[in-house]
Structure 1
Amino acid sequence: MPNSLQSEPVAAVLDRLYAQAEKIDPEVLEPAMAEARRRKGPLDDRELAGMLRRAFMPVSRDVGHLLYMMVRTSRCRRVIEFGTSFGISTIFLAAALKDSGGGTLVTTELEPDKVRRAREHFAEAGLSDIVEVREGDARETLRDVEPDVDFVLLDGWKGLYLPVLQLLEPKLRTGSLIIADDIDLMPEVLTPYLQYVHRERSPYFAVKVPMGDGLDVAMWTR
């Protein structure tokens, strides 16, 4: 059974991107956290977005491996990702599709420089034929995705998890998996999303997974 994560060029691209993230993210995130502490509260969305333009904020390798296994074992063919960043999580997802025989991955990112660089990374990893990167607000770029979505990764702006999920609901198939990343980072922002998928008589069957900065794994049951 092939595993692109353990061979070139995917392995080399991931190693390089994780090394860059390890160097750059502290330089970017520490000033943002210091400013939030100084103000004794969170920064507004626009200001925070500006400060994080260079940040990778990638999924951990363990989470990436879990995403890869989920896509492969579920035999996914159509994957949606909200929040490309520089493309690390996308590479795990696209590699899983490739190793399973193919499929399509639509990922969306608001920051133009991240879009440009992510596309370069996908080309280097030999995954461009699987990944379509859409630049802009996910509430617009994901409106016309094809139906029968098998898998969704929510890893962008936390306050948009719920509207993006609701936008995609008509396109989900029964048994689709929805993974929400970083649920422990900004719990107050993600409360509406978590209440929605975990509520009584929800069309989702959901469980929290203590990996990385917290995952919520939900299955669409309708």
Structure 2
Amino acid sequence: MRAVLNRLYSMAERDDKGVMERAYASAAGLSAPPTPAEASALCAEALLPVDPKIGRLLHLLVRTLRPRNPVEFGASYGASAIQIAAALRDNGSGHLTTSELDGGKVRKTRENLAEAGLADLVTVLEGDARDTLGALTEPVDFILLDGWKELYLPVLKVLEPLMAPGAVIVSDNLSMLPADYLERIRDGRLGYVSLDLPLGDGVEVTTWTGIRDE
């Protein structure tokens, strides 16, 4: 597991800056903001792993909370999925479902999970998370949101009916998140309790109490 993560972080440090600079330049030439599919294509070669400290946070939270049905939006190359799945393995229970739009990244995630010895603990769904995660039926008790930022709120709304009381949501890239998403997860009337943490470029950790006061 450590060898796979070290390789992914080394590749990201070497390649991601150039890939993202080209992606931003291409997006600037579009007549409208890129759609999720267009953004996914522009960033297809970027690994975009979670910050190592956030990876450790994910592992710590899963070990502590012992979720049975964690869900991830935005697998990329699988760095965060490896951290979560390793914690599930150490817990002795639980199965991660992760979603990724880009088919090439889906293949890489599956390969990396297999190399890390964790493939049996993760289901990797290919496609738009609003559809793939929307088809889930089991209660969800842990959520990592780390995909296209404009989809955080739509994906959260898809998962809300499945969230068990006490479910924890980790929202990465806090500095980039839309205001309407942050307003929702910080709204106590909707049953949310939330805290921002200064890890990476910011991360929000939220719990849903299951008690709404609308």
Deviation at 1:44, TM superposition (A): 2.4
Any gaps of 5 or more consecutive residues in structure 1?
Answer: 1-9
1:117-145 residue CA offsets vs partner (Å, 9 max, x unmatched): 11010000010110000000111101232
Q: Which runs of 5+ in 2 are unaligned?
A: none
2:83 to 92, 98, 105: 92
* TM superposition shift of 1:200: 4.7
Alpha-carbon distance in structure 2 between the residues aligned to 1:220 and 1:60 = 24
- CA contact under 8 A between 1:179 and 1:217: conserved in structure 2? yes
Q: Percent identity?
A: 47
- Contact residue 147 and residue 172 of structure 1 kept, 8 A: no
- Separation in structure 1 between the aligned mates of residue 76 and residue 26 of structure 2, nearest angstrom: 23
State the secondary structure of the residue aligned to 1:212: coil
2:107 pairs with 1:116:
yes
Please list the CA deviations of residues 65-117 of structure 1 after superposition, one character each: whole Å capped at 9, or x if unmatched. 00000011011121100000000011000001000112110000000000011
Question: So what's the TM-score if we normalise by structure 1?
Answer: 0.88
RMSD: 1.8
The equivalences for 1:20-169 within 5 A come to: 20-34=11-25, 43-45=33-35, 46-169=37-160
Distance in 2, matches of 1:35 and 1:172, equals 37
One-letter identity of the residue aligned with 2:7: R
Aligned residues: 208
Which of structure 1's runs of 4+ aligned residues deviate more than 4 A?
none
Q: 1:177 to 1:195 in 2, by over 3 A?
A: same
What is the deviation of 1:147? 2.5
